[in-house]
Amino acid sequence: MELNQIAPSANTTSQSAAAASSSVLSSDFEVFLQMLTAQAQYQDPLEPMDNSEYAAQLAQFSMVEQQVTTNDLMEQLLFNLGTSDMSSAANWIGMEALVTGPAQFEGDSVTIAPNPPITADTVVLIVNDEQGNEVQRVPMPTGAEPFEWTGLDDDGVPLPHGEYTFQIESSANGEILVTEPAMSYSRVTEARIENGTTLLVLESGYMILANNVAGLREPPVT
pLDDT at 215: 85
Does the residue 158 lie in any domain?
yes
Contact 110, 184 (CB under 8 A): yes
The verdict on 122 and 77 lying in the same domain is no
In this structure, the answer to whether residues 140 and 83 fall within a common structural domain is no
Domain boundary among 33, 64, 90: 90
Give the chain's domain count: 2
Q: Is the dihedral of CA 32, 33, 38, 40 positive or negative?
A: positive
80 and 114 within one domain: no
Q: Confirm if 4 and 54 have CB atoms less than 8 A apart.
A: no
For residue 151, being part of any structural domain is answered with yes
pLDDT at 221: 73
CB atoms within 10 A of CB 111: 18
Flag whether 117 is in a domain: yes
Specify if 63 maps to a domain. Answer: yes
Let me know if residue 98 belongs to a domain. no
One domain, residues 36 and 63: yes
* Residue that terminates a domain, selected from 60, 90, 120: 90
Say if residue 86 is in the same domain as residue 14. Answer: yes
Query: What per-residue confidence (pLDDT) applies to 19?
Result: 47
Tens digit of pLDDT per residue, the chain (222 long)?
434 433 344 444 444 444 444 454 455 556 666 776 776 676 666 666 666 665 566 656 666 566 666 556 556 544 544 445 666 777 888 889 889 888 989 888 999 999 899 999 999 999 999 999 999 999 999 988 999 999 999 899 999 999 999 999 999 999 999 999 999 999 999 988 888 788 888 988 888 888 888 888 888 776
Query: How far is 89 from 41, CA to CA, in rounded Å?
Result: 56
Instruction: Please report the pLDDT score of residue 2 as a whole number.
Output: 39
Q: Identify the helix (H) or strand (E) that includes residue 81.
A: helix 51-90
Do both 16 and 59 map to the same domain? Answer: yes
Burial degree of 105 (CB within 10 A; 0-12, 13-18, 19+): buried
pLDDT in tens, 170-204: 999 999 999 999 999 999 999 888 887 888 889 88
Are residue 27 and residue 75 in the same domain, yes or no? yes
Position 4, amino acid: N
Continuous segment of H or E residues that includes residue 21: helix 10-41
User: What pTM was estimated for this model as a whole?
Assistant: 0.57
Q: What b/e sequence results for 149-165 when a residue is b if at least 16 CB atoms lie within 10 Å of its CB, and e otherwise? A: bebeeeeeeebeeebbb
Q: Is residue 189 part of a domain?
A: no
Same domain, 112 and 178: yes
113 and 165 both lie in a single domain: yes
In a domain, 70, yes or no: yes
Q: Which domain holds residue 157?
A: 106-183
User: Are residues 124 and 79 both part of a single domain?
Assistant: no
| 169: CATH | 2.60.40.4070
Residue 19: Cβ within 10 Å count: 15
Please answer whether residues 109 and 149 qualify as being in contact, where contact means their C-beta atoms are separated by less than 8 angstroms. Answer: yes
User: In degrees, to the nearest 5, what angle opens at C-alpha 193 toward C-alphas 187 and 199?
Assistant: 35
